[in-house]
Every structure is written in structure tokens, then in C-alpha cells.
Amino acid sequence: MKKHFLVLFLFCFTISNAQESKYAIIIHGGAGNGLVPGNYNEVQTAAFHHALNAALARGDSALAAGADALDVVSLVIQVLENDSLFNAGKGAVLTYEAKASLDASIMDGASLEAGAVAGVSCIKNPITAALSVLRHSPHVILSGAGADRYAQEKGSICVDPSYFIIPSKLKTIKRIRKEQEALDSAQNHKMGTVGCVVRDREGNIAAGTSTGGMMAKRYGRIGDSPIVGAGTYANNSSAGISCTGHGEYFIRNVIAFQVANRVDLIEESGQEAADYMIHDVLSSQKAFGGLIGIDRNGELFYSFNTTGMLRGFKREGEKAQTYIFSLEIEGDN
Ligand code: ASP
């Protein structure tokens, strides 16, 4: 008899806990050492805050209406891809040949299913292509023309490739080519990759990342953003993570997975694991970047070793917060 009461109690406790689970969203819009207050005037910083808030608001309303983490990651990233302030979708950095070549990935922390596209050139919202790969394909990563075709077949909008190209990025690529700057150097890094991690009311975590990659990339270079475990990772039992920065280092160090793995195996908090991977591992290799995440306890975290990282977060029922520079420069807003 006692045993039955205990089972009933545990059942009710689990149900009410599941119902009480609050949702949360965290986003980034890229990390970089050019993000210092002197480089941006008031209008430009206001535009960053506005764009980050618009993305958070989209996610918040979808989660409040009962959407799941995976769909919300895609919806939020689409808002950022449509905004030419960021290096994803419209306004992405251009290849050496002055074309947009876009990468994106998304992962479901409940099922460990993942989808990614690399080097797509006509899909308006590459994150929708990544989600189609996750939902409908037996594969994890599709690339190039095949990925463009697959995404269209599954309903993603295809635009003329000129849609992605904005004048400032075209000017930069022309200058780089003229001056024959070292094309593989981090100096050419233009921040603005976007990412999102969501925990929904069921407690499921999903993560996604979308980017144009590194400015003036050549030879079909692919960065960390579409690589599961490098730029994006999600597992309900540890954490969801989205990264931004010098992709080659994020791939070599499998940064996103390592953060999740540290949470899982050595029981660090997401924040401790992120700080270790960014400030110990990446910094010791003189590599730069940052990441955002939500751990299995629902704690939001972020870490970066650049002067700034565009970022924002919102917990259910609380005010959204957005930041551009490091907190020492910025102070709380
Ligand atoms: N990680 C991206 C890449 O290497 C670039 C970035 O995050 O800014 O393609």
C-alpha cells in the first residue's frame, strides 16, 4: 500500500515538475575583437540591441504558445538570418569569388538527431535547410548544390544569390582582393555568425548555428558552424551549445561537444565547462571566439575571449537582456 502511495507521489511530482519547467532562450550574433565601443556609434549599438531583442521576442512568443525547442531555434535563427547586420543569410561575408556560401546546423537534445548544410548558395534561410536534413534525411550533413536542391524539395525558399550580397561586404571583398591580404588570417575575420539555444517547457534542449563563414574563404572551406560537436551540440542530459569564432580551432578542439561532455562526465556546470574551453583551451592556442549554452539544470551560460560578443537571453516571465561588449566595458543593462 505504502509503495503505491510512493509511486503516486513520484508520478504527481514528475508531472508537476514537467509542467512547471520554465523555458529559456539564449542567442549570439558573433564574437570579435572589433567589438569595442569606439568602433560603433549610438545608432549602431541601438541597432544591435534592437535586432537581438526582435529575435528573442520571436522565440518568446513561440515558446509561450507551446512550440518545441527545435522549432524555436529555427524561428529565432531565421530572424537573425533575415537581418543584414549579421554574418548569416542576408549580409553574410563573401567568399574570395564574392559569393555567399552559407553553413548551418541544428541539433535536438532529446533525440540526438542533427541536420546541417554546408556551402549552400540560394537557400534564403539556411537553418530551415538544416532542419529539413534533420527531419527528413537519413544523413546529417548535405553540401553545395545538392543541399540547395534538397532544401528546396523540402520547402525552403530559394532566392537569387544576389539577395545575400550587401554593398559593405562587397566593398570589403574587393579591397581584400586588391590588397592581396593574407586570406587565411584571423584579421579578416568579420564577426556576426548567429546561434541560438532553447530549453522548452518540456525541458528539452535544442541548439543551432548559421553563418557565412570566414570572409574571403576559398577552395570550398567549411568552418565549425555546420559540424555537429564543433560549432553546435545539444544533449538533454548535458547541455546545448552554439559557438562562434575562428572555426578551424573550434573543429580541432571539438569545442561544443567538449563543453557538453565536461558537464556530463566531470559534472561541471555549463558555465565552468564553457570558461575552461574558451579561456584555457582556446586562449592557450591564441584562438578567439565564444559560445552560448543552456545546461541540463536550465542554467544559461556564455563565455568569450574577444572584446565583445553580441548576445542576449530571456527566461520565461523575465525581461530580455542583450549585450554587445564585455561586461567590464559595458556594465549591466
Ligand atoms: N565560426 C565561423 C566559421 O569559422 C565564423 C564565426 O563564427 O564568425 O565559419
Burial grade of 199 (CB within 10 A; 0-12, 13-18, 19 or more):
buried
Predicted pLDDT at 329: 75
Q: Whose CA is nearest to atom 7 of ligand 1?
A: 244
DSSP 8-state code for residue 23 = P
Q: What is the pLDDT, as a whole number, of residue 177?
A: 85
Q: In what order do the strands lie in the sheet with 205-211?
A: 141-143, 114-120, 102-108, 205-211, 194-199, 24-32, 308-315, 321-325
pLDDT in tens, the chain (333 residues): 344 444 444 443 433 344 458 999 999 999 999 999 999 999 999 999 999 999 999 999 999 999 999 999 999 999 999 999 999 999 999 999 999 999 999 999 999 999 999 999 999 999 999 999 999 999 999 999 999 999 999 999 999 999 999 999 999 999 888 876 555 554 556 689 999 999 999 999 999 999 999 999 999 999 999 999 999 999 999 999 999 999 999 999 999 999 999 999 999 999 999 999 999 999 999 999 999 999 999 999 999 999 999 999 999 999 999 999 988 777 544
Q: Which residues contact 304 (CB under 8 A, 6 or more apart)?
A: 31, 245, 278, 289, 290, 291, 326
pLDDT attached to residue 67: 98
DSSP 287-327: --EEEEEEETT--EEEEESSSEEEEEEEETTS--EEEEE-H
Active site residues: 193
User: Which atom of ligand 1 sits closest to the CA of residue 31?
Assistant: 8
What pLDDT, on the 0 to 100 scale, is given for residue 21? Answer: 85
Cell numbers linked to 194: 548567429
Cell matching residue 12: 504527481
Which residue has the CA at smallest separation from atom 5 of ligand 1?
Answer: 213
Helix (H), strand (E) at residue 104:
strand 102-108
Using CA atoms, how far apart are residues 103 and 143, in angstroms rounded to an integer? 9
Rounded to 10 degrees, the C-alpha dihedral 293/198/256/188 comes to: -80
Map out the domains of the chain with their CATH numbers.
Answer: 23-329 (3.60.20.30)
Largest CA distance in the chain: 82
Give the pTM: 0.92
Residue 42 alpha carbon to ligand 1 centre in Å = 26
Atom 9 in ligand 1: which residue has the minimum CA distance? 213
Q: Give the number of the atom of ligand 1 that is nearest the alpha carbon of residue 222.
A: 9
Of the candidates 249, 245, 231, 220, the residue with the CA atom closest to the CA atom of residue 293: 231
The three cell numbers of residue 179 are: 590588397
**CB-based contact 238:205 (threshold 8 Å):** no
Radius of gyration of the chain (CA): 19
Q: Residue 213 CA: which ligand 1 atom is closest?
A: 9
Measure the CA–CA gap between 224 and 246, rounded to whole angstroms: 8
What's the pLDDT at 110? 98
What pLDDT, on a 0 to 100 scale, did the predictor assign at position 27?
98
For residue 189, give the ligand 1 atom closest to its CA.
8
Among 87, 244, 253, residue to substitute to test ligand 1 (most atoms within 8 Å of Cβ): 244
Is residue 17 classed as helix, strand or coil in its secondary structure? helix
State residue 157's pLDDT score: 98
pLDDT value of residue 176: 87
Q: How far apart are CA 195 and CA 208, in angstroms?
A: 6
Cβ atoms of residues 291 and 243 within 8 Å:
yes
CA of 43 to the centre of ligand 1 (A): 25
197 forms beta bridges with 26, 207
**What φ, ψ does residue 249 adopt, rounded to 5°?**
-75, -35
- With a Cβ cut-off of 6 Å, ligand 1 is lined by 30, 87, 191, 193, 211, 213-214, 223-225, 231, 244-245, 247
- Whole-number pLDDT of residue 187: 53
